[in-house]
Amino acid sequence: MSEVLVQRPTVRGGVGESVPRPDAVPKVTGRFDFLGDLHAEGMVWGATRRAWLPRARLVRVDVTPALTMRGVHAALTQDDVPGHRYQGQKVTDQPVLAEGEVRTWGEPVAVVAADDPETARRAADAIIVELDELEPLTDLDEALARGSVFRHVRVRRGDPDARGEVVVEDTYTTATQDPAALGTEAGLAVPDGLGGLDLWGPTQWTHVDRTQLAACLGLSPEQVRVQPCRLGGAFGSREDLSLQTHLGMLALRLGRPVKMVYDRTESFVGHVKRHGARMRYRHEADRAGRLVRVEAQLLLDGGPYELTSSAVVANSSYFALGPYRCQRVEVDGYALRTNNPPSGAMRGFGANQPCFAAEAQMDRLAEALGLDPLELRLRNAIGPGDHLATTGQLIEHPLPTAEVIRSVAAIPLPDALAPADDDPRRLPGGTGLTTPRDRVVRGVGYAVGLKNLQFSEGFDDYAEARVELTAEGARVHTAAIEVGQGMVTIIAQVVRSTLGVSQVEVAFDHTGRIGSAGSTSASRQTQMAGNAALEAATVVRTQALERLGGDHLDDAGVWRGEQLLAPLAELVADGPIEHHVRYRHRPTQQPDADGQGALHVDFCVAAHRAVVDVDPDLGLVRVVEIAIAQDVGRALNPQQLHGQIEGGIAQGMGHAIMEEVVLDAGVIRNASFTDYLLPTCLDAPEVEAVLVEQPSPWGPFGAKGMAELPTMSATPAVVAAVRAATGRALTRAPVRPEDVVGDLR
């Protein structure tokens, strides 16, 4: 027995620390291999031939001119799909390649493979495609009138006769927003020589991709190994397949690896977007400022294929009011089938559009009542013990609505624009030198957002993880996808704090090695992959202690009291200690005919305050500062939380004043970063963030998923601030300069 006193080490990099991301330095120094950097020996390059009309009868596709070109190896159409010819996450209604009818601008018609990207592109252009133009359906009210509906969500709750004295109503519009991930779609398919293949593509959920790919490629799921990918951003746009099936078809046909990379223009038609929406609202309140009745009709532009629209419209409908009590609610949400570009998941998943409308309604109601807008919100704020006004679900877990409102209001306002401040970068119009200081008007606006966490409506939602403890430390296996949000850091922190061991590595496994972790979306993975890793690590720790009868595990090894029983290497001399977990959150219910039930597992809230400087004569807006109070459960990594908050705010404010997919009868007019404007570092505002920590009873170490909320209520807060500065109604996002100027004709 050693007499040397060993100090028990403290775990490094556990929860609560701002642990740096393992991929941070490689990414900023250019040494991180993104999807587009993939390479395989002997690979050929794929390219896609697309349709140039939003709707047309597909008369003829002739690939012969492509096939006769030197260096071209294959040119495939819908007739060449080996298995099921339609794909889709929920309903398989999207043809792998156009069949019979083209239903959206830029729809893929044929794919080719050639020796190099340039030849592939020219071969794709050489394919003869004959289209017979048809009238596209692009208007939402017309789509509704024609019954072109993917899903109607009907919500009815409370006393139908309840009426309020004070009424505000209007119609609101949000334009289509592009996720605009910096990494475009790219992928690589490599045949395994046994009839199957390995596939790297842009994904947020490898197992659901595998299901669709296996069906379309005519393979068993085991023959398709969907590999973890190294994404340059997702925001929801990688939940649906883009180029994967095409790569698989070409690779199987040729028996050699095929790579494909979309350029920026192709990317704009190659991934799903945030639904454009038209929303009619009527709010009624009593004189005391209590919401009595809310009626809402929500029209969401789904594009031609269902994809995730049926789930998105559910979110829109259930979060149509925001975090407020109300006696009577009538919501009709419609996901509509049109010939506009396909919509799908994007950060906030349908809760953003009604948040824009409903928060504007709250401001109007406050004005009509002569109440402070925050006071009106506080009088109606829901919290634990209340029922969600739409679904009637009892709020059982912490939901600090009033706290986030009070916290954001308590953040000191930024200084007024200094009279001597002539730096044009701080004035509306920026470097364009448009705006003298004395023409600037300041406005302040608030908005509050509410959203569900995880999957809802009875979905069997689970995540698998396996933890191994070896002499080198612990390794966590998961199929969860790191899209850039930082889950890789969080999982390791959770396992460090659970095991007491500092050396923890996260191994991302393909679909053949481990079961599904579910999607990296719906603010899921901190709680889902995090809890799976936590449970697995807890069992590993117990087994490690039991092996030697210890009572404590850390970097030194296993202890009993003050005595070190064995270092890690000795503990695992006979093999690693490992445990595999399939973690499920508590089940949710499916809605009844009135949209009622405990449909969600948990909720999250945030409140934003935007301060803007506006040039009313030119309609130019500079967002000075956005303050946010955000419900986080518990901060596992404060720096990452602030990163998600700042990024989310940039995306939300972008949609408030510049980000819009400009559609003209189904055609995208700004499919480039020259004209689809994203905020630059001169546009992004200062951010003041307060984290409201009320630990979740079921999240790992009390944490909640949170990264959608910073985007959601940023958009309505910015527009509210522009309204405050200008007095304009501004019922549309993004606000355009001409909307601010008004009365131009």
Partner 1 sequence: MHIERPEGLDEALAALAADPHATLLAGGTDLMVEVNLTHRRPASVVALRRVPELREWDERMIGAGVSWARMESGPVTGLAQLARTVGSPQIRAVGTLGGNLGTASPAGDALPWLAALDAEVVLASDRGRRRLAWDEFLLGPKRTARQPGELIVGVQLPEALPPHQAFAKVGVRQAMVIATVNCCVVRDADGATRVALGAVGPTVRRARRAEALVSGTVRPSAAVLDRFEALVREEIAPIDDHRASAAYRRHAAGVLARRTLERCWS
Where does this chain touch partner 1 (CB under 8 A) — which range of 5-13, 532-540, 587-595, 677-685? 677-685
In angstroms, the CA 390 to CA 32 distance is 45
User: How many helices (H) and strands (E) would you count in the chain?
Assistant: 18, 31
State the minimum distance, in angstroms, from the CB of residue 618 to partner 1. Answer: 6
Rounded to a whole number of angstroms, the minimum distance from the CB of residue 619 to partner 1 is 8
373-380 and 401-410 are packed helices; what angle lies between their axes, rounded to 10 degrees? 160
Smallest distance from partner 1 to CB 436, Å = 7
Select 673 or 698, whichever has its Cβ closest to partner 1: 673
The C-alpha atoms of residue 404 and residue 399 are separated, in whole angstroms, by 9
Residue 304 beta carbon to partner 1: minimum distance, rounded to whole angstroms? 22
> Shortest distance, CB of residue 348 to partner 1, whole angstroms?
23
Least Å distance between CB 520 and partner 1?
30
- Residue 431 as a binder of partner 1 (CB under 8 A): the answer is yes
Torsion sign over Cα 342, 346, 350, 356: negative
- What distance in Å separates the CA atoms of residue 381 and residue 290, rounded to the nearest whole number? 10
**Distance in Å, CB of 349 to partner 1, minimum:** 27
Q: Is 526 exposed, middle or buried (0-12, 13-18, 19+ CB in 10 A)?
A: buried
Nearer to partner 1, 467 or 657 (CB): 657
Question: Quick one: 10 exposed, middle or buried, by C-beta within 10 A (0-12, 13-18, 19+)?
Answer: exposed
Computed from CA positions of residues 239, 245, 246, 247, in that sequence, does the dihedral angle turn out positive or negative?
Answer: positive
- Residue 220 tokens read as 């068993």
Tell which one of 18, 538, 589, 670 touches partner 1 (CB under 8 A). Answer: 670
Residue of 134, 409, 417, 658 interacting with partner 1 (CB under 8 A):
658
Neighbours of 681 (CB within 10 A): 7
Residue 409 to residues 302, 406, 472, 682, 692: CA-CA distances in angstroms?
37, 5, 49, 25, 13
Q: Do 437 and 361 form a contact (C-beta atoms < 8 A)?
A: no
Single out the residue of 219, 464, 174, 478 nearest to residue 348, CA to CA: 174
Q: Is 569 in the site for partner 1 (CB under 8 A)?
A: no
Stretch that binds partner 1, among 288-296, 441-449, 643-651, 732-740 (CB under 8 A): 732-740
Given the complex with partner 1, which of 429 and 449 has the nearer CB atom?
429
Q: Which stretch binds partner 1 (CB under 8 A): 202-210, 358-366, 616-624, 724-732?
A: 616-624
Choice from 67, 134, 162, 618 touching partner 1 (CB under 8 A): 618
- Which lies closer to partner 1 via its Cβ, residue 19 or residue 735? 735
Q: 50 near 242, Cβ under 8 Å?
A: no
CA 188 to CA 366: how far, in whole Å? 55
In angstroms, what CA-CA distances link 605 with 274, 322, 401, 436, 634?
A: 20, 9, 6, 38, 14
What dihedral angle (degrees, nearest 10) is formed by the CA atoms of 656, 661, 665, 671? 160
Give the one residue of 20, 432, 587, 727 binding partner 1; rule: CB under 8 A: 432
Min CB(303)–partner 1 separation in Å: 19
361 or 435: CB nearest partner 1: 435
Please report whether residue 372 would count as binding partner 1 according to CB under 8 A. Answer: no
Nearest approach, Cβ of 28 to partner 1 (angstroms)?
A: 17
Per CB under 8 A, which region of 365-373, 387-395, 442-450, 666-674 contacts partner 1?
666-674
Alpha-carbon gap, residue 79 to 66, rounded angstroms = 16
421 contributes a contact to partner 1 by CB under 8 A? no
429 binds partner 1 (CB under 8 A): yes
The interface region with partner 1, picked from 332-340, 550-558, 584-592, 657-665 by CB under 8 A, is 657-665
- The single residue among 185, 683, 688, 708 that binds partner 1, judged by CB under 8 A, is 683
Q: Among 1, 59, 433, 573, which residue interacts with partner 1 (rule: CB under 8 A)? A: 433
For position 744 contacting partner 1 by CB under 8 A, the verdict is yes
Contacts (Cβ under 8 Å, ≥6 apart) of 538 = 498
Q: How far is the CB of 537 from partner 1 (least distance, A)?
A: 46
Figure out which of the listed residues 146, 425, 560, 586 binds partner 1, where binding follows CB under 8 A.
425
Question: Considering only residues 88-147, where is the footprint of partner 1 by CB under 8 A?
Answer: 121, 125
**Rounded least distance, CB 681 to partner 1, Å:** 9
Report the 3 state secondary structure along 437-465: HHHCEEEEEEEEEEEEECCCCCCCCEEEE
**Which residues, 6+ apart, have CB-to-CB distance to 171 below 8 Å?**
278, 279, 280, 281, 731
Size, binding site for partner 1 by CB under 8 A: 37
The end-to-end CA distance of the chain, in Å, is 92
Which residue in 144, 417, 441, 677 binds partner 1 (CB under 8 A)? 677
Question: Of 287 and 669, which has the nearer Cβ to partner 1?
Answer: 669
662 touches partner 1 (CB under 8 A): yes
In the complex, minimum distance from the CB of residue 132 to partner 1, in angstroms, rounded to a whole number: 25
Residues of this chain, 250-289, that bind partner 1 according to CB under 8 A = 263, 265
Does 422 sit near partner 1 (CB under 8 A)?
A: no
Whether the Cβ atoms of residue 631 and residue 709 lie closer than 8 Å to each other: yes
With tokens 């979110």, the residue in question is 315
Alpha carbon distance 595, 296 (integer Å):
14
Among 26, 436, 587, 697, binds partner 1 (CB under 8 A): 436
Identify the residue among 2, 7, 29, 674 touching partner 1 (CB under 8 A).
674
* Residue 133: CB minimum distance to partner 1, A: 22
Instruction: Please state the separation of Cα 455 from the chain's center in Å.
Output: 13
Under the binding rule (CB under 8 A), the answer on residue 738 touching partner 1 is: yes
Q: Could you tell me the CA-to-CA distances from 254 to 21, 40, 69, 225, 249 in Å, in that order?
A: 39, 14, 16, 18, 9
Phi-psi region of 705 (alpha: psi -120 to 50; beta: other; left: phi over 0): beta
Which residues contribute to the site for partner 1 (CB under 8 A)? 121, 125, 263, 265, 425, 429-436, 617-620, 622, 657-658, 662, 664, 669-670, 674-675, 677, 679-680, 682-683, 736-738, 741, 744-745
